[in-house]
Amino acid sequence: MTEPRYIKWGSYAVLVVAAVFAVFPAIWVFASSFKVESEVFSTRVELIGPSGITFDNYQFLLSRGDFVQWFINSAIVAIAVTVIGVLLSATAAYGLSRYRFRARGMALYIFLVAQMFPGVILLVPLFRIFADAGLIDHLLALVIAYSTIAIPFSVLMLKAYFDTIPIDLEEAGMVDGLGVFGAFWRIVLPLSVPGIAVTAFYSFITAWNEFMLASAFLVSRSNLTLPVGLGTFTDQFNQPWHILAAASVIITIPVMIFFFLAQRYLISGLQTGGVKG
């Protein structure tokens, strides 16, 4: 039985309105990045101001050495966390998927529980650990902290994905002379690209956008990451929203590039990792 036409078109109308509400803030930020300060604070609702489009906000940011350094710091931390997170979570997930040992159930339970703790609970113990280790105001502290946050989810995601790969394929490879590591590297990982893409994207986003831990562990202005560095642009007397809008657009560029390069794998990876377990 087909549904009435008015229900169908009503559903479309609701989806269109929801899409507008979801996309409009991003469009407004993008438009504000090309406006002068007076037009950003204007009460007139217009995407292009009377003075037209200006690139001064972007020129101001890219000409600042500290902003470029913050971008480099964020890129170093995000790339390091992505590589470490994928390597450690892939090997751990493979072991949990393929081997049965006494503490296997407890290990899975620990990874699950680790995701339930909000970052603010980890702030004080991590700060004490890094202070004793002399890592305060070092990017390595962020790499370690973000990896501990990203790995539990990544392990569970990849474990669910590895469960869908028939073990017969690995056994056939071992018959042909591959060892355990060879089967994992040459058979399992190439078949797990969608799941790896999801975990890599999650690890990258976790490290790229995080503010709280970075603001606690980093002190020197030259060591700040982008989210913390941009916070120094505002105070109780100055809120340069036109500059912050341009910075927001620049910050989203690496994430968008990552997403468009991996989007063909992200949907299938999320579907497989989300329904298997």
Mean pLDDT along residues 177-201: 84
Which of 42-46, 128-132, 259-263 has the least mean pLDDT?
42-46
Predicted pLDDT at 276: 44
Q: Which residue has the tokens 């590591």?
A: 181
| 205 is a domain residue | yes
Contact 233, 50 (CB under 8 A): no
d(CA 110, CA 159): 14
Tens of pLDDT, residues 224-237: 999 998 888 877 77
Residue 273 has pLDDT above 80, yes or no: no
At 256, is the pLDDT very low, low, confident or very high (cuts 50, 70, 90)?
confident
∠ CA 247-245-73, rounded to 5°: 15
CATH number at residue 191: 1.10.3720.10
Contact 211, 2 (CB under 8 A): no
| 35 is a domain residue | no
| 7 is a domain residue | no
Domain count, the chain: 1
Residue 12 has pLDDT above 60, yes or no: yes
| 36 is a domain residue | no
Tens of pLDDT, residues 98-122: 888 888 888 888 888 877 777 788 8
Range of the domain at 131: 64-275
| 126 is a domain residue | yes
